[in-house]
Structure 1
């Protein structure tokens, strides 16, 4: 439990590398999360929980949502404020959001729900959501059907996010009864620096000892050099999205 807690709060140590190395979310996937609200004709007010450096926040803003960002790590929120100025941002967790009852149309979490107590998180989302509000969860996961991607994961070590997705994704808890799901497949071109930043921003690597961390990054660099064409590696991703409405 202590190790998991350390890993879940480690990202602020590498906030800049997280911003560089982690992929953005496809706009169509984020729009799909908000679709039930948009169809209802509202400009949604959205809580981005576990907002990190603002990867999901930016897309929500581009989709004209009014966003409030929540994250347990003040260093990550400092990066978010630099990257997405003007976004209200507060220290908090999915289990305890610093928001009033029935104050948002959607609660979304990008690359974060696997760190959450799902029962407490669902109940808290139900508290802050307005009537017919939506809980939207999304992950960018590397496509492990590709052999070299599996090799990459072996070097970096798997994550709890990847385990959750491989087991079928999150389960609904009250007041949510079921998730609708969608998947998008795409590729992200990465330079050597960004490829290494992607590895260095993983919680297992951040919290590893210096010798182990250097060994992992050296192996990741060797793999990049084997694969690169014109200084670029195309990393295949699957964006897995889950959407539930209160009482549905």
Structure 2
């Protein structure tokens, strides 16, 4: 994806901030604990925090995090939903925090939007020595037959290159390191995966997939046809046709330590 397309996709979420807050999943607590277990302290920055999905899981595991989000509509939704959180406007490329002020920087389904040539040094700047940078992604567990079918019928706009475990491992292996000599600031990255799930109905799963960036930027007619195919697939499967079900997922984590 080129820089212009990446910007168009990454800036699309504000148009669906309320739906994003309602339908996107939280993150597995075990994944968050693993992301942070080598950090030198508990001063945590949730970078590209969106509506606060990862912030909520951080709070649930006992971390009082600062959230930074560039989109005004997403930031407003975060502040509405989690009024006790310190939530600041800013971006990965311009973090509004002092040097060495956090022990960990985490990003939930956001790091692939960062311009790491700029964001890498900026993240290194705010991290204390020995601090941790961790990206977390919720992905569909396509080892389950009906989930693999859902990924196929949904298309890349709804289920993209980081949205299943195998493709996530490939796509994210080095994505959170800068493209230049700034990589020397970080140790070798580690990957881990943790079981997760989200209670959904067919309607609410369609609504969830409709908040994906590829869907949000899609022309209206094509978007409706894609969502129609997904509805028809879910109606055809015994696992999803009637009532609530658990969507099998993994929370996948990419972690690296600042030297």
| Cα root mean square deviation, aligned | 1.9
Q: TM-score, normalised by structure 2?
A: 0.86
Q: Is contact 1:141-1:239 (8 Å) kept?
A: yes
Q: Displacement of 1:108 after TM fit? A: 0.5
Aligned to 1:193: 203
Partner of 1:119: 117
Q: C-alpha deviations, 1:127-185, integer Å up to 9, x for none?
A: 00112111111111112233433332332424253386141523143311212221112
Q: Give the corresponding residue for 2:50.
A: 52
User: Judging changes above 3 Å, is the alpha-carbon distance between structure 1 residues 245 and 57 closer, same or farther for their aligned structure 2 residues?
Assistant: same
State how many pairs are aligned. Answer: 243
| C-alpha distance in 1 between matches for 2:241 and 2:230 | 16
* C-alpha spacing 1:166/1:148, structure 2 compared with 1 (3 Å): farther
- Which residue does 2:249 correspond to in 1? 237
What residue is the counterpart of 1:161 in the other structure? 162
What displacement does 1:194 show?
A: 1.7
CA deviations on 1:68-100 (whole Å, 9 max, x unpaired) are 111121111111111111212122211221111
**1:94-173, aligned counterparts within 5 Å?**
94-154=92-152, 155-157=154-156, 158-162=159-163, 165-167=168-170, 169-171=172-174, 172=177, 173=183
- The structural deviation recorded for 1:12 is 1.1
Contact 1:190 1:235 in 2 (8 A): yes
8 Å CA contact retained: 1:195, 1:224: no
What is the rounded CA distance, in whole Å, between the counterparts of 1:235 and 1:156 in structure 2?
A: 18
1:6 aligns with 2:41: no
Deviations 1:90-124 (A, max 9, x none): 22211221111111111000101111123332211
C-alpha separation in 1, matches of 2:241 and 2:212: 25
Structure 2: runs of 5 or more not aligned: 178-182
Equivalent pair of 2:70/2:89 in contact (CA under 8 Å): yes
Alpha-carbon separation, structure 1, partners of 2:195 and 2:100: 34
For the pair 1:175 / 2:191, whether they are aligned, the reply is: no
Q: 4+ residue stretches of structure 1 with deviation over 6 A?
A: none
Tell me the distance in 2 between the aligned counterparts of 1:230 and 1:144.
21
Matched with 2:62 is 64
Which stretch has the larger CA shift, 1-10 or 26-35?
Answer: 1-10
Given the two structures, how large is their TM-score scaled by the length of structure 1? 0.90
Q: Deviations over 1:18-71 (max 9, x none)?
A: 12222110111101111123xx5x4x1111011011000011122222211111
Contact preservation (8 Å) 1:20, 1:194: no
Structure 1, unmatched stretches of 5+, are none
